[in-house]
Structure 1
Amino acid sequence: MKHLAIAAGILTATSAVAADKPQLTVYTYDSFVSDWGPGPKVEEAFEAVCDCDLNLVGVEDGAALLSRIRLEGENTDADVVLGLDTNLIAAAKETGLFAPHSVTADYALPIQWTDDTFVPYDWGYFAFVHNADASAPANFRELADSEAKIIIQDPRSSTPGLGLLLWVKAAYGDEAPAIWADLSDNIVTVTKGWSEAYGLFLDGEADMVLSYTTSPAYHLIAEEDASKAAAAFDEGHYMQIEVAAKLAGSDHSELADQFLNFMVSDAFQQIIPTTNWMYPAVTPSSGLPEGFDTLVVPQKSLIIDPSEAATKRDEALSEWLGALSQ
């Protein structure tokens, strides 16, 4: 029995040490915390330097993150939210729930970054991914005129879905409703988030899926499969910059600051390209993985200023709902 008592004592002591470590809770999206996403590696790398327990909580897609934070308000368990983007920054700031940061970094973004609340951690371009052996449209008009069946995500719950709305709006302005009316019969289904949509595409449920220009890199690098490609649209591609911020009411404010600074470090950024399959916000010392040089590079970058995105979102959402209900 003595060895059992000793073992119990060791377990009790170990539990006490674990309990003494502060827990930093980060709300993010489901694919980030998946086994194949950045989450497991990020957790291991940060816990190695923070003397803490990093608790990553998956909450569907990016737009759903903001909805949950709004619902929980000052009672949220989150210390950091990771997974919003420039289209949601203004709406997030309006909640008054987020605190300024003091992070500085040599960003490798296509635009200058000056926001004092949100810290970027990766970026990319939205695109329609298709089988490489199939012909692809060169713009939204050609897509609408084609027989191609597409899967997109709901802009009310998904950041790619919202990005698509603003992509069409940025490219076509007042003609956006007509584009959506023409596209409506191409849409097979609208999913809540990216993972479901991409899975359905891989299962052969559609010819194309709304994703990113970087998505084919996953198949090329992780699966040694060159059968997927992103269609290059001549009206340009909409840019997504993903961001994180700490909650003003965090009980672990200094630890949240440490995480945000860690997020732009080499240890975090080198994980992003081959787990989140996006461009890192800060180029890691190792550079980009082989295979990223084969990706489509848009001839024109489209983005709506974060301060205008909320207004444009409401207008574009109304147009989208109107077209799909006809």
Structure 2
Amino acid sequence: MVKSARIVAAALFGLLAAPVFAEDTPTLKIYTYDGFAADWGPGPALKQGFEAICDGCAVEWIAADSSIGTLRRVQLEGDTTEADLIVGLDTAIAGEARATGLFADHGLELTDLTLPEPWTDAQFVPFDYAHFAFVYDTDSVITPPKSFEELIALPADFKIAIQDPRSATPGLGLVLWIRAAYGDRAPEIWAGLKPHILTVTRDWSESYNLFLNGEADMALSYTTSPAYHILAEQDDTIHAAMFDEGHLAQTEVAGILKSSENQDLARQFLAYLASVEGQKVIPTTNWMFPVIDLGDDLDPAFATLPQPAGTLTLTDAEIAANASAWIDEMLKAVQ
């Protein structure tokens, strides 16, 4: 455990050491997406781990169909929201979330993060990351494309499944990835991709299942997706196609609502989420990279996953100012 992680852990356990009487038991209500709160997701283990050290608190997950859905819910509820925290926003929508003015500063020192880019966000704490990528099966795709342009050049019967950027963060991630890689050429890339798009699904699981069922040659997912197949299914045939132009990273984040009456406890939960104990839960339940170095606590399968030659980036300001137009641009090109 790194020195700063020890400090965070010591502070966390110290803050939670005082006894709490049953009638005063605080309950953290946390909005998240359904996969995070599912029995197979990280939510149950994080709930159990935190409740074991908070001496009387309780964690209640309240799930929406997507992380975008969680943000839309608190935007509608405003200061009347029952949520203390949101867990599962990502860097593509963090700027929009911050602009609502509903989130409090986290106040944590996050000095030992191992992210593709330095982290300076005062409102949101990162808890996992991966790069967007198309996944394929080596049994059926012998030579995967190495760029969007190579993908476009393939025969029209080579099909991909992608997600709607209005309802799924990977779908929005693809829009941003193409824009970051090609700038004003993005409409040209989308027009080239159109013949290859089998369908645009509402969520990730639907398009990924089309791929698994052999209906699509590739599906938009993450560079970490193959780890699930390696560890859960002992199947090493699912790979991520690495593109020469680079990949956009998705970092998932958590933030405290200003309206929460449990500010200190919410902050303690964020400290736990970013600690070694919290981070050990993430890789094999959410199938993403941890945001700190777990050393031997990270399964070796993750070390076999390829990393992009370069990480593409867009600023919060660029995304906030242009995302809506870029989504319209994409929809117009593929419909």
Verify: 1:86 aligned to 2:69, yes or no: no
Q: What is the CA–CA distance in structure 1 between the aligned matches of 2:80 and 2:163, rounded to whole Å?
A: 29
Q: What is the CA–CA distance in structure 1 between the aligned matches of 2:134 and 2:295, rounded to whole Å?
A: 30
Contact residue 31 and residue 195 of structure 1 kept, 8 A:
no
Unaligned runs of at least 5 residues, structure 1: 1-16
Question: Any idea what the Cα deviations from partners look like across 1:117-141, whole Å, max 9, x if unmatched?
Answer: 0111111100001112213111111
Verify: 1:118 aligned to 2:124, yes or no: yes
How is 1:156-235 mapped onto 2 (pairs within 5 angstroms)? 156-235=166-245
What is the match of residue 35 of structure 1? 39
Please report how far the alpha carbon of residue 315 of structure 1 lies from its aligned counterpart in structure 2 after TM superposition.
2.7
Letter in 2 for 1:91: E
Contact residue 61 and residue 194 of structure 1 kept, 8 A:
no
Which SS does the other structure have where 2:123 is aligned? coil
Please report how far the alpha carbon of residue 181 of structure 1 lies from its aligned counterpart in structure 2 after TM superposition.
0.9
Contact residue 153 and residue 191 of structure 1 kept, 8 A:
yes
Unaligned runs of at least 5 residues, structure 2: 1-20
Which of structure 1's runs of 4+ aligned residues deviate more than 4 A?
17-20
Q: What is the CA–CA distance in structure 1 between the aligned matches of 2:204 and 2:291, rounded to whole Å?
A: 21
Contact residue 166 and residue 312 of structure 1 kept, 8 A:
no
Q: 2:290 aligns with which of 280, 292, 301?
A: 280
Contact residue 62 and residue 84 of structure 1 kept, 8 A:
yes
What is the match of residue 6 of structure 2? none
What percent of counterpart residues are identical? 50
What is the match of residue 134 of structure 2? 128
Please report how far the alpha carbon of residue 233 of structure 1 lies from its aligned counterpart in structure 2 after TM superposition.
0.6
The number of residue pairs the alignment matches comes to: 309
What is the match of residue 13 of structure 1? none
Q: What is the CA–CA distance in structure 1 between the aligned matches of 2:51 and 2:201, rounded to whole Å?
A: 34
Tell me the TM-score normalised to structure 1 length: 0.91
Q: 1:143 aligns with which of 151, 158, 164?
A: 151
RMSD (CA atoms): 1.4
Please report how far the alpha carbon of residue 287 of structure 1 lies from its aligned counterpart in structure 2 after TM superposition.
4.3
Letter in 2 for 1:21: T
The 3 A distance-change label for structure 1 pair 148 and 19 is farther
Verify: 1:46 aligned to 2:50, yes or no: yes
Please report how far the alpha carbon of residue 18 of structure 1 lies from its aligned counterpart in structure 2 after TM superposition.
6.1
Tell me the TM-score normalised to structure 2 length: 0.89
Of stretches 111-120 and 188-197 in structure 1, the one that deviates more from structure 2 is 188-197
